[in-house]
Amino acid sequence: MTTENVTIDDIARELGVSKTTVSRSISGKGRISETTRRRVLDLIEEKNYKPNLIARGLAQSRTYNIGWVVPGDSEMTTLFFYQKCMQGVIDAATEADYDILITTVYDHNISGLLRVLDNHKVDGVILGQTLIRDPGIRALKKSGIPFVTIGSTEEKNVIQVDHDHVTACRELSSILKMKGIRSAALIGGGEDKVVTRSRRQGFEEGMEGVHTLIHMNCKKTEEIERAVEDVLRNKVDCIICEDDRICYVVLGKLKKERIQIPADLRVASFYNSALIEEYQPAITSLEYDPRELGNTACRTLLSMIGGEKPKGRQMLGYELMLRASTL
């Protein structure tokens, strides 16, 4: 028997045992002596035998698939974030011989996720975004399958991995206040998303005592531009954008209006990406590591699949970049 194309039949034949004995030795299940199990595992190592994942999955009642659930209505700019997250998920999954099954959901339409759960296609799920009233979380809790959310939630007994948005946004806002900002505007996206509310909370806490103007639920370009027009009418000192896409639109609108940054108006963003990082003057922003986020979430999920009980919430760090746009 060579080390090429070794099968479970070959292992069983050389040792003079049944295929069932070999399978039980691999899975660790069933009644089998430790001596026999050791003989099987030693030969497997010697011949470099790699059990077929489907066969191993059947033996262990596993699919060796992880569900990666992302919003199907994400705009191209948001997709950059999910792509980097997924790279981290793939890194961790590959090490554990797992594959990724991508599923999309649309706000409160989670039919794709429900189909995956009903058909038992995955051993666990990573939910890429959390909503205030999240039907995906409720469906996953009901199913009993291990799952981890990327993003925080107030739902009880949910394992969460997130960046500390409240602290990060509070710190950036506080620094701008200390730099002499007398009035500030926040332009944010949909408040049905937990991350949006967390960033708003950080803004309000950091800007306590400062006159503020808040425009939320600005999803379309024209809505963001109208918010900028209102900010200019109110002669606000600084605009803080809730994310990179909003900041990109804000910068374009200010350019049309011939507003000089930072001479006429200061600008900062609560999230930095390639979309705005080349802008001049450089934009003050918060930087996070989406790849680390995905990797941590996947490793946490794999530990849960293996029977461990991780802590309820893991908060990852951030980097605050003070740049020319707020000088």
Q: What is the pLDDT of residues 298-317, one digit of tens each?
A: 999 999 998 998 888 999 99
Residue 3 belongs to a domain = no
* Domain count across the chain: 3
Same domain? For 75 and 220 the reply is: no
The Cβ-side half-sphere exposure at 311, using a 13 Å CA radius, reads 6
* b/e per residue 43-58 (b: at least 16 CB within 10 A): bbeebebebeeeebbe
| Domain region containing 22 | 8-60
Residue 1 belongs to a domain = no
If 0-12 CB within 10 Å is exposed, 13-18 middle and 19+ buried, where does residue 42 land? exposed
* pLDDT, mean over the chain: 89
**Bond preceding residue 146 cis, omega within 30 of 0:** no
Same domain? For 158 and 305 the reply is: yes
Same domain? For 72 and 56 the reply is: no
Residue 213 belongs to a domain = yes
Place of tokens 């209102």: 230
Tell me the pLDDT tens digit for each residue of 184-234.
999 999 999 999 999 999 999 999 999 999 999 999 999 999 999 999 999
Residue 157 belongs to a domain = yes
Query: Which of 204, 140, 153 has its CA nearest to residue 177?
Result: 204
If 0-12 CB within 10 Å is exposed, 13-18 middle and 19+ buried, where does residue 19 land? middle
Same domain? For 178 and 138 the reply is: no
DSSP at 225: H
Tell me the pLDDT tens digit for each residue of 144-154.
999 999 999 98
Residue 183 belongs to a domain = yes
Same domain? For 91 and 151 the reply is: yes
pLDDT for the residue 7: 76
Same domain? For 283 and 295 the reply is: no
Indicate the residue among 24, 41, 60 that finishes a domain. 60
Same domain? For 27 and 48 the reply is: yes
Residue 85 belongs to a domain = yes
- Mean pLDDT within 292-299: 97
What sign results for the dihedral spanned by CA atoms 229, 198, 288, 263? positive
Q: Are residues 185 and 213 in contact, defined by beta-carbon separation less than 8 angstroms?
A: yes
Beta strands 211-215 and 183-187: pairing type?
Answer: parallel
If 0-12 CB within 10 Å is exposed, 13-18 middle and 19+ buried, where does residue 274 land? exposed
pTM score, whole prediction: 0.78
pLDDT band at 281 (very low <50, low <70, confident <90, very high): very high
User: 83 or 80: which carries more pLDDT confidence?
Assistant: 83
Place of tokens 């799920």: 125
Residue 165 pLDDT exceeds 60? yes
Same domain? For 156 and 296 the reply is: yes
Lowest mean pLDDT among 34-43, 180-189, 246-255: 34-43
DSSP three-state, residue 122 = coil
Same domain? For 154 and 297 the reply is: yes
Same domain? For 227 and 311 the reply is: no
DSSP at 282: P
Tell me the pLDDT tens digit for each residue of 85-141.
999 999 999 998 899 999 999 877 899 999 999 998 999 999 999 998 899 999 999
Same domain? For 203 and 247 the reply is: yes
Same domain? For 113 and 20 the reply is: no
Q: Are residues 186 and 234 in contact, defined by beta-carbon separation less than 8 angstroms?
A: no
Write the CATH number for 176: 3.40.50.2300
CA distance 224 to 245: 10
Q: Are residues 160 and 152 in contact, defined by beta-carbon separation less than 8 angstroms?
A: yes
Write the CATH number for 55: 1.10.260.40
